[in-house]
């Protein structure tokens, strides 16, 4: 790394604008010439000299509406940040996924947004990225008590929607729709931490309705057709069912098709993910009563922005390396509006460049409710707490940083389609 590059990286990590300007003035007085914009304290209309960036996203399949929306956000962000992009699809094949990650350096990729087949793959992928100097963000799944601090600076962040809260909010809407009593068939997804969290949220809601009896619990593996098969057995096993709670919209839509075929239009249903088709069903105000949207385009875009900023010298604090991205519970009153904003418009309703800490160091705006994850809360009751990185060991220091980051993102959340 040249002297100039070293100074650029150093100044990019200085958070206070006045301190940045003083540093640059000292560099100039020492006869060090730097490109326009490297102070990173400039206003939004000034030039920004960013390192060459090429980002990849590796997800399951473009055939799924959720991942199609995720890719749409990734493409929009790559365009806004003027970086090259690569799309990879692992088709839920872990060996293929690992092979794709190994091949990133040969493609010139230095940023990766990844949704793994299973949480257990994250350590291997993070290690490969660390070794090859690829900035990495994991979305949705991660092993309990495992954090980016276990790997190094190139594992920038783990981000997920709060699945416990999503399951809780959707569960409440579903149980209220049937008067708070009756049998509710539960259809699970794949055996992942996200699936467990959604179940925990739904059961938390069920505890508030003594008349609710949760039955079933078979797995539809997040797939519409598999959920149809499960639902066909459920209508026989539980002829008195009042509702169906499916862990994602794809399974909810598969189950709904069976209910309609059997003319069971009085049986209510709910899902999670907020796919456009699910939102349209909810907007009808009938059988599909609620879903929760994790804003797939936003998830991809915000992750890409964080990696872009890390590439440009920004260093996240400990509390910024585990983050919840805000989601919305859609009901009959709100579903159409959410669908219009997230899926129907020609352009996504987010200014992705505005989210950047390096492009807009003073007035960056996440445009969503972002807040840190506390490992002790996220993985409460799960084995392995003794393996939590020592960086979290000082409880008072961690609490202060957690609160400071929560306030920081809340203060900078000024705009966005759901503000």
Q: Per residue in 54-88, pLDDT tens?
A: 999 999 888 777 888 899 999 999 999 999 999 99
- Does 343 reside within a domain? no
287 shares its domain with 174: yes
Is the predicted pLDDT of residue 23 greater than 90, yes or no?
A: no
Contact 198, 222 (CB under 8 A): no
Tell me what the mean pLDDT of segment 349-360 comes to.
97
Is the predicted pLDDT of residue 254 greater than 80, yes or no?
A: yes
- Does 338 reside within a domain? no
Tell me what the mean pLDDT of segment 318-346 comes to.
94
- Does 339 reside within a domain? no
Tell me which residue has tokens 């400990």.
318
148 shares its domain with 225: no
Q: How many residues make up the chain in this entry?
A: 419
191 shares its domain with 265: yes
The average confidence (pLDDT) of the chain is: 90
229 shares its domain with 249: yes
Tell me what the mean pLDDT of segment 405-418 comes to.
97
**Number of structural domains found in the chain:** 3
80 shares its domain with 175: no
Full domain range(s) for residue 147: 54-161+298-328+349-412
Is the predicted pLDDT of residue 5 greater than 60, yes or no?
A: no
289 shares its domain with 169: yes
191 shares its domain with 250: yes
Is the predicted pLDDT of residue 35 greater than 50, yes or no?
A: no
Q: Identify the CATH number of the domain in which residue 185 sits.
A: 3.40.50.2300
**To the nearest whole percent, how much of the chain has pLDDT over 90?**
80
Q: What is the DSSP string of 161-206?
A: --HHHHHHHHHHHHHHHTTTEEEEEEEE-SSSHHHHHHHHHHHHHH
Query: In terms of Cα–Cα distance, which of 179, 136, 145, 172 is closest to 316?
Result: 136
Separation of alpha carbons 327 and 170, rounded Å: 12
What pLDDT does 346 receive? 83
157 shares its domain with 302: yes
Confidence of residue 32 (pLDDT cuts 50, 70, 90): low
Tell me what the mean pLDDT of segment 203-219 comes to.
97
What pLDDT does 10 receive? 56
Q: Per residue in 292-321, pLDDT tens?
A: 999 999 999 999 999 999 999 999 999 999
- Does 334 reside within a domain? no
Cα distance from N-terminal residue to C-terminal residue, the chain: 42
């Amino acid at each position: 790394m040249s002297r100039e590059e070293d100074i650029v990286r150093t100044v990019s990590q200085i958070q206070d604008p006045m301190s940045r300007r003083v540093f640059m003035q000292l560099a100039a007085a020492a006869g060090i010439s730097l490109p326009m914009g490297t102070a990173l304290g400039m206003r939004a209309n000034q030039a920004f000299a960013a390192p060459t960036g090429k980002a990849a996203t590796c997800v399951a399949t473009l055939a799924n509406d959720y991942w199609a929306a995720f890719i749409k956000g990734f493409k929009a962000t790559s365009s806004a940040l003027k970086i090259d992009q690569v799309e990879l699809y692992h088709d839920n094949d872990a060996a293929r996924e690992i092979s794709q990650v190994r091949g990133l350096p040969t493609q010139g990729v230095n940023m990766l947004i990844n949704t793994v087949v299973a949480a257990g793959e994250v350590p291997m992928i993070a290690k490969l990225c660390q070794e090859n100097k690829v900035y990495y963000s994991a979305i949705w799944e991660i092993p309990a008590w495992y954090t980016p601090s276990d790997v190094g600076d190139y594992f920038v962040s783990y981000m997920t929607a709060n699945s416990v809260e999503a399951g809780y909010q959707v569960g409440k809407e579903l149980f209220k729709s049937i008067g708070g009593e009756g049998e509710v068939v539960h259809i699970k997804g794949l055996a992942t931490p996200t699936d467990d969290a959604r179940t925990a949220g739904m059961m938390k809601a069920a505890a508030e309705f003594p008349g609710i009896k949760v039955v079933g619990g078979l797995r539809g593996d997040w797939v519409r057709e598999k959920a149809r098969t499960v639902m066909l057995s459920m209508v026989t096993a539980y002829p008195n069912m009042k509702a169906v709670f499916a862990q994602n919209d794809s399974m909810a839509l598969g189950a709904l098709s069976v209910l309609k075929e059997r003319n069971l239009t009085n049986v209510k249903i709910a899902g999670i993910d907020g796919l456009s088709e699910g939102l349209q069903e909810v907007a009808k105000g009938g059988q599909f009563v609620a879903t929760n949207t994790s804003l797939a385009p936003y998830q991809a875009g915000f992750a890409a922005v964080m990696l872009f900023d890390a590439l440009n010298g920004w260093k996240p604090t400990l509390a910024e390396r585990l983050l919840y991205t805000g989601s919305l519970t859609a009901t009959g009153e709100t579903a159409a509006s959410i669908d219009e904003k997230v899926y129907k418009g020609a352009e996504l309703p987010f200014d992705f460049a505005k989210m950047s800490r390096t492009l807009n160091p003073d007035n960056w705006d996440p445009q969503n409710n972002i807040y840190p994850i506390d490992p002790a809360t996220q993985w409460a009751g799960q084995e392995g707490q003794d393996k939590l990185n020592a960086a979290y060991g000082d409880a008072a220091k961690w609490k202060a940083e957690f609160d400071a980051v929560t306030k920081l993102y809340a203060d900078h959340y000024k705009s966005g389609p759901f503000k």
